[in-house]
Amino acid sequence: MDLLLWGVLPYVMVAILIGGSIWRYRYDQFGWTTRSSQLYESRLLRIGSPIFHFGILAVVAGHFFGLVIPMSWTLFVGMSQEFYHLNALLVGGIAGIGTLGGIVILIYRRRKTGPVFMATTKNDKIMYVVLTAAIVFGLWTTLASVFEGENGHNYRETVAPWFRSLFLFQPDIAAMAAAPFSFHIHTLVGMLLFTIWPFTRLVHAFTAPLHYLFRPYVVYRSRDKVPGAVRPVRRGWAPIGTEDRARDKR
């Protein structure tokens, strides 16, 4: 069971995440958007969205710090375990609560604002459930360690080594299996989130426009050689039941 959860599932998740993203990028550029609903409602969005997004960016940074950088390194530079722990709790806790608060505002807005709710797809609803669950379980692991205090679980001895070992294709399944249930469930929901990621609106995060900082203001581009309206759909990438598919058969 442990082998399946911590040895196989992560790779399945990564395969779907990468393959799905490539497929979506090639096949569904037109659907690759934030699908902003600011046109319908701006007041709550202006509060909730920045809180959520900056929160989640901080959370991502925290995960990087906690999972990728080995404990021996921080100890080596003289950062005591207590100091690290306090820091992680404080910064991580604030970021996590901010993220949760932000998403609660956004979900409230989505449900209560008529036009925004109308524009919410099933896909969005599933995504919101998984995303919120991942945040809640993540926050649970953080808060649990507050109450457990000194006796709390040190994930940098279990989850983090397992995470790093995944990249070496030598998954340290035993380490992960030793982590408490709260970490297990958070990791599983997280993997689920990344599995559905390429198929939801979350893909917009992959095209964060950092290149905006470096490009010239005015963009010149030559007329398309092939008019966009009739660009042939690549073989095998056509949705079912279209003219293109029918022609391929013929």
Residues contacting 107, CB < 8 A, separation 6+: 128, 132
Query: Minimum Å distance from CB 96 to another protein?
Result: 18
Least distance to another protein from the beta carbon of 151, Å? 39
Nearer to another protein, 78 or 216 (CB): 216
- Tokens read off for 178: 């030793």
Which residue, 132 or 158, has its beta carbon nearer to another protein? 132
Q: Which is nearer to another protein, 54 or 140 (CB)?
A: 54
Give the footprint of another protein on this chain (CB under 8 A). 29-30, 32-42, 45-46, 49-50, 52-54, 114-115, 118-119, 204, 207, 209-213, 215, 217-223, 225-230, 232, 243
State in angstroms the smallest separation of the CB of 68 from another protein. 25
Rounded CA separation 5/184 (Å): 9
Distance of closest approach, residue 5 Cβ to another protein, in angstroms:
34
Q: How far is the CB of 35 from another protein (least distance, A)?
A: 4
Q: Which residues contact 133 (CB under 8 A, 6 or more apart)?
A: 189
Separation of CA 133 from chain center: 12
Q: Assess contact for 2 and 177: CB atoms under 8 A.
A: yes
* Positive or negative torsion for Cα 197, 185, 188, 141: positive
Which is closer to another protein, CB of 45 or CB of 134?
45
Residue placing its CB nearer to another protein in the complex, 5 or 244: 244
Distance CA 47, CA 16 (A): 34
Per the CB < 8 A criterion, the answer to whether 155 and 66 are in contact is yes
